[in-house]
Amino acid sequence: MLGNNLIHNGAIQEVSGFLRRKRKAVNCEECRRSKLRCDRQHPCGACKRRKRELICSYETPSGPSVSRKTRRKPVTTSASSALSGETGIPATPTRKGAISSISQSEQTISEVETSPPGVHWETVLERPVPEEDVNDTLSPLSISPRISLQEMIDSLPPKSCCDYLVSHFFKHIFALFPILHGPTFQKQYTAFMQRPQDVDLPWLALLFALCSLSLNTLDESDPRLQCVWSQLPSSITQAASTVPITVSVSRRLLRTAITCLLQGDFLIRHTFSTFEALLMVIYSLSHNESVDQGWALLGMALNIGIALRCNVEQKSLGTIENERRRRCWAGLLTLHTYQGMLFRDFDMSYLLSIQAPLPADVNDVDITNEAIVQQSCSEPTQMSVMMAKLRLFRLSTQICRHTSGPSRLDQQALRDLDAAIAEEQKQWDAAYMVDGSPNILDSNRYAYWCVLQTYAHHLYLLLHRPFHHSKASCFLPFSRERCISSSAALISLHRQLYEAPILRNYFWLLSGVTSLKALHAAVALNSCLQDDTEHNLKSFREEIESLIARMKDLSGRSHICLRAYRILRHLQAQAGAGDPPAGSSETPLENLFEDLTNIREWMDADLVDWNMDGQFNVFAP
């Protein structure tokens, strides 16, 4: 008589009176549950990569008999994040065929039926874990050739140079965009150098993006970079005659960073490293290529950040992990500041309604898993620039919404917002200047002050534009004065970053948004000077000519500077300060710019109608 007492997940089964030892599990429970390839080690490689070593087990727990479909244990977001330290919430991948989809649906239904009361919603709302080794037709690289992991790793600079680039980043760049936690990155970097084949592609993308940004800030004559140049193919070294080799290699590293994200299927598999890498790529694009190129990626980063719940407090995570997420969310908001200030068609005010916890204004060493130690002194921290940028994000959003709405001519609102900008400037003076002069003992602080001042003066231009011209319906002499002074200040800041030895480590800022702001300033100043006879026009014209020369010199490093140079040459020709560029029309260009913030033409000079007639007034309300 056959015994029907089947002991599920036990050591033996009673069948037909015989005792048959159950075969030991070949794959661990986590790999079977997630349908991953298991290397049968203990812990296995898959669990190590996903930081789940503690639950890697080959013994199935004893319990009541259940079908194979219902054996998968639901893993809630809080539980998985507590074990892994990263709240990865990948989207549902495309399954192979209808049978797999039906099987998955049946599995979910069975789980709901067998789950205890109160957890049904958690099971239904859980995002399924993507399968590995599945030919997903929606994968971004499903029709593209793939690069092996070893090829990617070989594309990195040598270790000694990587060490130098990472060190340079945290010393001179980090405070401007502090989305990382230094000690955590140090541990990740050390682990990668010891076992590079175990690296996650999103984190590798972060390393490539960081090295790209850091390399672009260095001079090609730096002897510490010789180990990089010696390994370059001849095609890159030959191209260095027109583009600086640091820029060429930097772009190559940035492309590899994006390739890592694509091959990691970042559209359907999101980890926290994916979020960090995307933000670093967008920041690099904004400062080395063009702000508009990061716009689509910025939308992806916003959605991934929300999916990873970086905008909410997660009690299941430790203090460090929560702070890392706060920093990245803050970085996401500050990247939107570029879009709001430089593209008037985008209203960023909806982001203000997302009540996300702010990062702590402390240094990395003040953050432990137990608590955050608040500084008692008033000295700036590694996060102070970011905190100022967060305030600027809110202020710029208010100003952009005001200037694009029906209240743009409200003079009381004008005075209130002008005072808010001035108050920010006072805070920066107190934090980064010494009695109104640059801090020569810490040149980085003066650089931070310069960067923040470019935001302030650009906001002044946006705010006062409708009131600056005597032919405007509501002309204010104060607004014209503010536009002239802010334009001159922006051009002066551009010149200091180009010339001042104390700011040599921040020369790279001229390749991106800083030069774009200087272009805005030159156009604004030209418009004011045409309507004003009280100022010394010669000195201002000389400042614009000097800016044109700098833009020409920077054209090989930056697409923005190349386009700005072309536009400023036409502006110079129209003002009678120079000869028209070869092949251009001599027709006056009075109506070349309809508005200061009509950025589309400025980003691509080929779209400009250089033959427009009429009065040249870029600020016409």
Mean pLDDT over residues 412-432, rounded? 95
Residue 397 has pLDDT above 80, yes or no: yes
Nearest Cα to Cα of residue 277 among 296, 260, 299, 294: 260
Which residues, in sequence order, are CB contacts of 298 under 8 Å at separation 6+? 282, 332, 335, 336, 339
Predicted local distance difference test score (pLDDT) of residue 579: 45
Predicted local distance difference test score (pLDDT) of residue 422: 97
Predicted local distance difference test score (pLDDT) of residue 429: 96
Q: What tens digit of pLDDT does each residue of 245-279 get?
A: 888 899 999 999 999 999 988 888 889 999 999 99
Which residues, in sequence order, are CB contacts of 614 under 8 Å at separation 6+? 590, 591
The token pair at 180 is 């990382």
Mean pLDDT over residues 299-318, rounded? 92
Beta bridge partners of 21: 12
Cα dihedral 259/264/268/273 (nearest 10): -100
Residue 118 has pLDDT above 70, yes or no: no
Looking at per-residue pLDDT, the higher value among 601 and 406 belongs to: 406
Predicted local distance difference test score (pLDDT) of residue 129: 54
Residue 93 has pLDDT above 80, yes or no: no
Q: What tens digit of pLDDT does each residue of 12-25 get?
A: 343 344 444 445 56
pLDDT band per the 50, 70, 90 thresholds, residue 130:
low
Instruction: Provide the phi-psi class of 222: left if phi over 0, else alpha when psi is between -120 and 50, else beta.
Output: beta
The total of other beta-carbon atoms located within 10 Å of residue 137's CB is 10
Predicted local distance difference test score (pLDDT) of residue 31: 81
Beta bridge partners of 20: 13
Predicted local distance difference test score (pLDDT) of residue 492: 96
Residue 603 has pLDDT above 90, yes or no: no
Most confident of 54-58, 341-345, 443-447, 590-594: 443-447
Predicted local distance difference test score (pLDDT) of residue 140: 45
Tell me how far CA of residue 327 lies from CA of 21, 180, 334, 363, 451, in angstroms. 54, 7, 11, 12, 19
* Out of 79-83, 106-110, 432-436, 475-479, least confident range: 79-83
pLDDT band per the 50, 70, 90 thresholds, residue 38:
confident
Q: DSSP letter at 578?
A: S
Distance CA(569)–CA(563), nearest Å, equals: 10
Predicted local distance difference test score (pLDDT) of residue 185: 97
Predicted local distance difference test score (pLDDT) of residue 128: 56
Q: Mean pLDDT across the chain, nearest whole number?
A: 77
Looking at per-residue pLDDT, the higher value among 605 and 308 belongs to: 308
Looking at per-residue pLDDT, the higher value among 56 and 310 belongs to: 310
Predicted local distance difference test score (pLDDT) of residue 556: 85
Predicted local distance difference test score (pLDDT) of residue 405: 80
Mean pLDDT over residues 338-365, rounded? 84
Predicted local distance difference test score (pLDDT) of residue 239: 52
Contact in structure between 251 and 257 (CB atoms under 8 Å): no
Contact in structure between 211 and 167 (CB atoms under 8 Å): no
Most confident of 81-85, 139-143, 562-566: 562-566
Residue 164 has pLDDT above 80, yes or no: yes
Tell me how far CA of residue 404 lies from CA of 86, 195, 358, 400, 581, in angstroms. 40, 53, 28, 6, 35
pLDDT band per the 50, 70, 90 thresholds, residue 575:
low
The total of other beta-carbon atoms located within 10 Å of residue 102's CB is 11
Report the percentage of the chain scoring pLDDT > 70. Answer: 71
The token pair at 146 is 């793939």
* Out of 214-218, 301-305, 351-355, 576-580, least confident range: 576-580
Contact in structure between 351 and 336 (CB atoms under 8 Å): yes
Predicted local distance difference test score (pLDDT) of residue 593: 35
Predicted local distance difference test score (pLDDT) of residue 406: 81
Mean pLDDT over residues 75-81, rounded? 35
pLDDT band per the 50, 70, 90 thresholds, residue 449:
very high
3-state secondary structure of 493: helix
pLDDT band per the 50, 70, 90 thresholds, residue 145:
low
* Out of 237-241, 482-486, 593-597, least confident range: 593-597
Predicted local distance difference test score (pLDDT) of residue 519: 92
Predicted local distance difference test score (pLDDT) of residue 309: 93
Predicted local distance difference test score (pLDDT) of residue 241: 58
Predicted local distance difference test score (pLDDT) of residue 144: 53
Predicted local distance difference test score (pLDDT) of residue 614: 33
Distance CA(429)–CA(129), nearest Å, equals: 50
Predicted local distance difference test score (pLDDT) of residue 194: 96
Distance CA(302)–CA(312), nearest Å, equals: 13
Instruction: Indicate the pTM of the whole model.
Output: 0.74
Contact in structure between 214 and 165 (CB atoms under 8 Å): yes
